[in-house]
Amino acid sequence: MTGMDDREKGFENKFAHDQQLEFKANARRNKLLGLWAADLMGITGDEAEAYAKTVVVSDFEEAGDDDVFRKVRADLDAKSVELSDHLLRHKMDELMATAREQVQNEG
């Protein structure tokens, strides 16, 4: 029976590890997105870093990416940056792939 217990524990550990990596990748993607959006809005330096942090924090409003999308969309609109919803979502997907790769290469 101990073999089954070990196997189950192994699956649980892998699942927890995968969830942790995905959380880190999501936060990294949001930071990268914030820095990218800041650049589009003409925000640089420490202000860009601070803005990126607000994008990361916005992800805690609800499950999924819609809260982040709405925040960045509203901020781009407020600064009169023309960018379609499709391109914004595409950039979010692109940066998620980049973030996952970065997180995996760290550990």
CA-derived radius of gyration, the chain? 17
pLDDT digits (tens, 9 = 90+) for 22-56: 889 999 999 999 999 999 999 999 999 999 999 99
Q: How would you label 5-18 residue by residue, b for 16+ Cβ within 10 Å and e otherwise? A: eeeeeeeeeeeeee
Record the pTM.
Answer: 0.84
The predicted model gives 64-91 an average pLDDT of 96
The predicted model gives 81-87 an average pLDDT of 97
**Structural domains in the chain, sorted by start:** 2-106 (1.10.790.20)
**Range of lowest pLDDT (40-44, 59-63, 67-71):** 59-63
